[in-house]
Amino acid sequence: MRLAIGVVRPCNPPLSKRMAIEHSATNHVAKHGAKRLRLTNSCNSLASDSGKCRTATRISKLGDRWKEYQGIKNWEGLLDPLDDDLRSEILRYGQFAEAAYRCFDFDTSSQTYARSRFPRNSMLAQCGLGESGYRVTKNLRATCGVQLPRWVNDKASSWISANSNWIGYVAVCNDKDEIARLGRRDVVIAFRGTATCLEWIENLRATLTCLPHDMGHQTREPMVESGFLSMYTSSTANCPSLRDMVKEEIAKISNMYSDEPLSVTITGHSLGAALATLTAYDLTATCDPRLLVTVVSFGGPRVGNGSFRCQLEKSGTRILRIVNSDDLITKMPGFVVDSHDVANKRDVHVGGLPSWLQKRVEDTQWVYADVGKELRLSSSHSPYLSNGNLATCHDLKTYLHLVNGFVSSTCPFRATARRVLSSTQSKEQVYA
């Protein structure tokens, strides 16, 4: 990736203001002591030396307001300007999503292709998150429901037709200091993005389909993308569905820690963001209502229609979508409705279409709705990114870089965030 310096001038607070902030922080540490938050910054998802990411520490008072940071108030007052503790949490969960990429074996010639490269007990340590305070309790697999013609299965390599693949993991915070810092015991469910041929085919199945009745709704109105739902609910004789694996594990964890505050945070990038949305909807609709379920997603495509969005809101599902305005994937699939009133039986207006065409589109299964609360960023705001191509704008490490630098809508990038490109190692890092 080329570095273009000077595209945008980063915001730089006046010296007097910076000194006042530093002085205030120093006094707080001296008087109250500091809880240290370790942030492992973004590295290339496929880098072999992923455990060498540099870290940054900062004072955190997260435990006192953890429900707000998990979206109990829909992140009001925390996004613009971006609250520093929330920024740290977004970056932290981004690292769990990135670990899902690092674990996955992309080598089609390997005997472990499409599986996790690391044993469960050492998985996070191998990904540079050994000091995160979390322990992986479950490997997750997703099954593609696409059935290839027999002649394709006969002639194609096994890696082309592999339909049940490692997609992510469940991890539980079991470190006492981290639990105290967070204010509760946190469970992370992390999903990677698209990696296999059949997953790409599932992504292209973009028409809307009805949710199954056992996902908490008895009407045909809530609809989601066919391919995403297929990957979430499909199973084989030897592999249960992703849905069953997640629900079984969360039920077990919920029972184990029923006497203490517990949160479930689901994170993912791209396809993983879509699966995170479906998972959160399913858990809030069908599992223990005491669970606080939150999604922190990066670069996710659209998932469902307006009725699906309405059901998400009614169920209390909290979704924070990190969106790069220059990322085409976040504008797909289908058309998006203009109004949140669609689920309240008001007229649907499809953005960007002439009125004579709107009715025809509304009758199809291509009208989607964006969900949750959005943190909108842009690659063009970073002085360290050139006009990137589709892959660059969609890359998870680009998202983490933009989160790291974002200040507010009036100051979209801070001077203290910088991108460092190592020419000797094929990795990029973001420092604060």
Kindly list the catalytic residues: 270, 327, 394
d(CA 242, CA 38): 31
d(CA 393, CA 371): 21
> Is the torsion defined by CA of 143, 145, 146, 151 positive or negative?
positive
Asked whether 364 and 381 are in contact (CB, 8 A), the reply is no
d(CA 315, CA 216): 10
Which residues fall within 8 angstroms of residue 419, CB to CB, at 6 or more apart? 3, 382, 384, 385, 401, 428, 429, 430
d(CA 116, CA 113): 8
Torsion from C-alpha of 274, 278, 280, 282, nearest 10 degrees: -170
DSSP 31: H
Angle at 385 between CA 382 and CA 390, to 5 degrees: 110
d(CA 224, CA 87): 30
d(CA 123, CA 139): 10
d(CA 13, CA 19): 10
Where residue 370 falls (left for φ over 0; alpha for ψ -120 to 50; beta otherwise) is beta
- Spell out the alpha helix ranges (H) of 70-216: 84-103, 123-126, 150-155, 158-161, 176-182, 197-204
